[in-house]
Amino acid sequence: MTQSKINLLEGSIPKHLIRLTLPMIWGIGVIISFQVVDTYFISKLGKEALAAVSFTFPVTYAIFTLTMGFSVAMSSVVSRLIGEGEQDLICRVITQGLFLVLIFTSLLSVIGFLIQEPLFHAMGAQAHLMPLILDYVTLWLFSIPLIAIPLVGNSSLRAGGDAITPAIIMSIAAFTNLILDPLLIFGVAGFPKMGIEGAALATVIANFCALCASLYVLSVRKKRLKWIWIMDLSAFKDTCKRLLVIALPVGITSLILPLTNAIIIALLSGLSIEAVAAFGIATRIEAFAFIVLMALSTAMSPIIGQNWGAKNLSRVHETLKKAIGFNIIWSLGVAVLLLLFGKHIASLFSTDPDIIQIAQLFFWIVPLSYALSNLLNGWMSAFNAMGNPKRSLTMMFIKYILMLLPALWIGQFYGVVGIFSALALVNIVSGILFHILNWKMCKT
């Protein structure tokens, strides 16, 4: 790679954004495809199975966001060490960092297993759904290390400028999951018919494949893993400090959204099982529609970070303007498509008319706020790149805790329409408020 391609302090901002965004679109799409594929095949088992897996989404997403904190931390630490030329230290941080992730996620698995039943009861899960929920989530919980280690390992590869290998690794996992899901759920081609539990097993096997591929690349091809470092406890303390100082605030910030979604599902469960299933469908479609914007938020981070550090504020402002402009155009386009075709898309996941109708209500109400709500993710990425993660945490806390929770409490008295309207209203108000305040701050 030439110097002009590495140096983000000069050259065309749009070209940099495109070059960095395209690989991320594939990578994020592959990760999200797991739940979309699972949702599609599980929906064929009926609305009870679909509602059951919808209850698990906030929990699995919360755990995913915690591991993403380690992913962001690994990328940040390793990229800076590469710039400093600390090759031995890079190997130590990657090796001990993955060991730290193994310890952390194993602990999460045990805690999750112990509290799973009371947790889902607290979320409003009906008694007849609990066996289905536990069939899926119990197996999934013990696969957390298999999910987290490749995720964090791939971040260390991207930090070194290799975006292709992580995409290949996750593609292997995604295609494995796609092939195994129908085989294990429905018992095709001589495989056992496992139902919803088969979807969880397919995810476990797929992520085990990703784990093997990631460890092979890091240890054999990249020579980044040196197992002798695991036994060095004094150095392990330093590695923990380097990673946790970033992983913890990022993880806490990201945790707010799934916690809020868990509350929304609890409110919807008090209305009907169809409402829970419809919300599960809508949020999966929503996530898939905004893969491009998630990739853009990730891609703009190094551009803003380098230029902010170099005091090139004009390039920071240009990056923000280009990203914001594309964000608005894409969000409006998605909103129009979901308004027009949301019912038809939802019907791919369920044939139940009540579920389809509630999903359609979601797509009639919430997409109107997309253009403003998606600005928040871009601003969070920008402030993290500027070295100000506390502002990102503050924005998330204000929007979801101080604004959305009271709005949802009021909205529940007006049923599904009230809950969805609360979501849209808070998205609009918070989007306008934070965009004005943040833009003024960046201009000063």
Q: Is the dihedral of CA 361, 367, 368, 372 positive or negative?
A: positive
In a shared domain, residues 76 and 209:
yes
pLDDT digits (tens, 9 = 90+) for 176-229: 999 999 999 999 888 889 998 999 899 899 999 999 999 999 988 888 787 777
In a shared domain, residues 191 and 305:
no
In a shared domain, residues 239 and 318:
no
Residue 11 lies in a domain: no
Helices (H) and strands (E) in the chain, counts: 18, 0
pLDDT higher than 70, residue 45: yes
User: Two tokens at 149?
Assistant: 């280690």
- Is residue 350 within 8 A of residue 356, CB to CB? The reply is yes
pLDDT at 249: 79
Q: Which amino acid is at 349?
A: F
Provide the residue range defining the domain that includes 122. 22-249
Mean pLDDT of all residues in 101-107: 93
In a shared domain, residues 238 and 293:
no
Q: Around Cβ 153, how many Cβ atoms within 10 Å?
A: 28
In a shared domain, residues 193 and 281:
no
In a shared domain, residues 185 and 230:
yes
Q: Is the dihedral of CA 290, 292, 298, 301 positive or negative?
A: negative
Residue 4 lies in a domain: no
- Report how far residue 392's alpha carbon sits from residue 207's, in angstroms, rounded to the nearest whole number: 30
In a shared domain, residues 187 and 282:
no
Backbone angles phi, psi at 225, to 5 degrees: -105, 125
User: Two tokens at 400?
Assistant: 């979801």
Share the mean pLDDT of the chain. 85
Query: 249, 282, 303 — which closes off a domain?
Result: 249
pLDDT higher than 80, residue 336: yes
Question: What DSSP state is assigned to residue 310?
Answer: T
In a shared domain, residues 282 and 202:
no
In a shared domain, residues 41 and 170:
yes
In a shared domain, residues 187 and 304:
no
Q: Domains in the chain: how many in total? A: 2
Residue 266 lies in a domain: no
pLDDT class of 90 with cuts at 50, 70, 90: confident
In a shared domain, residues 342 and 202:
no
Q: Around Cβ 264, how many Cβ atoms within 10 Å?
A: 23
- Is residue 50 within 8 A of residue 355, CB to CB? The reply is yes
In degrees, to the nearest 5, what angle opens at C-alpha 73 toward C-alphas 249 and 331? 75
Q: Is 223 left (phi over 0), alpha (psi -120 to 50) or beta?
A: left
With 0-12 CB in 10 A as exposed, 13-18 as middle and 19+ as buried, what is 128? exposed
> Which of residues 330 and 250 earns the better pLDDT score?
330
pLDDT digits (tens, 9 = 90+) for 180-194: 999 999 998 888 899
In a shared domain, residues 56 and 167:
yes
pLDDT at 334: 94
- Report how far residue 313's alpha carbon sits from residue 307's, in angstroms, rounded to the nearest whole number: 7
User: Two tokens at 188?
Assistant: 């095709």
> Which of residues 10 and 433 earns the better pLDDT score?
433
Residue 195 lies in a domain: yes
Question: What DSSP state is assigned to residue 382?
Answer: H
